[in-house]
Amino acid sequence: MTFSDFLTPVLLSLKVAILASILVLLLGVGTAWWMRRRTFKGKLLLETVFMLPLVLPPTVVGFILLVLLGRRSWIGKLAEAIFASPILFSWWAAVLASIVVSFPLVYQTMKTGFGSIDRSLEEAARSAGASDRQVFRYISLPLALPSSMTAFILGFARSLGEFGATLMIAGNIPGRTQTLPTAIYVAVDAGHTAMAWVWTISIIVISFLLLLITYRKARD
């Protein structure tokens, strides 16, 4: 196996993880902020739904996404009409799978971050005439910045290691959808132990550095 064969799933995994972690951070920040400011019937039930991907088997998550994004679903048909190609078995499918499975970690981290903010600071800004958007931009978000950084790193790490749901909706197409976890699985299954070790060491090193950064930020 050539160096290019080794590097391709590494670069694809990094591309998927970076894009997924950025998108899920935006989604997690917005959702956590919106949920924090509202009280309504069924809020606990909705938050439970948000956390489900954290405890469900990856194959269950993958199957649900397969149904929702398939060519027979209205989402799949709309996406195919817009992009002239199906979502399934593309690297974008890997991004979507990573977003779904990492969302609970990002949401919970941001919920804790916003919850630790002294509400009197936000109320003081509102009493001075600041809008909700201004309070969020100039008060809440800066104070929750450490949590945002932690959420991004956790989302990245979870996206990097995603396997089950990704395999079901993105497949394992070399050069197109084969990420590090799926490449390791195929290498082991084919008896290419040396290559599996190289990829395994790569993902361990990346994950270790991310966790180290997270713990250092938590201590600061």
* pLDDT tens-place string over residues 35-86: 988 888 888 999 999 999 999 999 999 999 999 998 888 888 888 888 788 8
Position 175 scores a pLDDT of 85
Domains of the chain are 3-36+52-113+150-219 (1.10.3720.10)
Would you say how long the chain is, in residues? 220
User: Model-level pTM?
Assistant: 0.90
What is the crossing angle of helices 145-160 and 193-219, to 10°?
Answer: 170
**Average pLDDT of the chain, as a whole number:** 89
Position 219 scores a pLDDT of 66
The H or E element containing residue 133 is helix 132-135
> How far is the C-alpha of 26 from the C-alpha of 148, rounded, in Å?
10
